[in-house]
Structures are given as structure tokens and as C-alpha cells.
């Protein structure tokens, strides 16, 4: 958790609070895991949230992906800084 950018920690706090999210049409939606980089799960298991990128004029490439329920305290958390090419598990949130 200490190695995450501050904006990722902000996004984690928003997820735990249930929002509000900076991109409400995009945040909290189903993440399909089409690349297959995360463990296989039923459709709807994963959700994605934008991690703000300083000075970006759009959503940028950084995301938090959660897995499972409840939505505000899911058992699985992942971070990607390169738009789904690589993921790292986030631990120590309990």
C-alpha cells in the first residue's frame, strides 16, 4: 500500500465510502478482465475505478480494480498504472 501513488489511496477511500466518484459513468462499472491478467471470475465480479493522474486531460491510464462483494469492502484489490497491462495486488487494507 505504501508504494501506491497518493491518488490511488484517494480512490481506495472513495470506494470504501461508496463515492462520489470523479467519473460516475465509468467508475464502479464492471471490469471484464478480457486480457486475462487477473484470476478468472464470473462476469460482474470485478469493478474498475479511475485513479486520477495529475496534469492528465482525460482519465489517464491508472485504475483500481476490485473483486467481490460487498462493493465498499471487497476482498480483492488491484492497481494498474498502465491501463490493464500489468497489475499488482493491494494488501493491508483491513
The mean per-residue pLDDT over the stretch 14-26 comes to 96
48 is catalytic: yes
**pLDDT at position 70, please?**
96
Spatial neighbors of 65 by CB under 8 A, at least 6 apart, are 31, 38, 46, 47, 48, 49, 77, 78, 79, 80, 87
37 part of the active site: no
- Whether the Cβ atoms of residue 82 and residue 61 lie closer than 8 Å to each other: yes
94: confidence class by pLDDT, cuts 50, 70, 90: low
* Residue 56 exposure: Cα atoms within 13 Å on the Cβ side: 11
Give domain 6-89's CATH architecture. Roll (3.10)
Give the mean pLDDT of the chain.
94
**Residue 83, strand partner residues:** none
Amino acid at each position: 500500500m505504501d508504494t501506491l501513488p497518493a491518488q490511488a489511496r484517494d480512490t481506495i477511500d472513495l470506494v470504501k465510502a461508496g463515492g462520489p466518484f470523479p467519473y460516475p459513468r465509468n467508475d464502479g462499472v464492471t471490469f471484464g478482465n478480457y486480457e486475462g491478467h487477473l484470476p478468472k471470475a464470473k462476469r460482474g465480479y470485478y469493478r474498475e475505478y479511475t485513479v486520477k493522474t495529475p496534469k492528465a486531460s482525460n482519465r489517464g491510464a491508472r485504475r483500481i480494480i476490485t473483486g467481490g462483494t460487498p462493493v465498499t469492502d471487497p476482498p480483492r484489490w488491484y492497481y494498474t498504472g498502465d491501463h490493464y497491462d500489468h497489475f499488482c495486488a493491494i494488501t493491508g487494507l483491513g
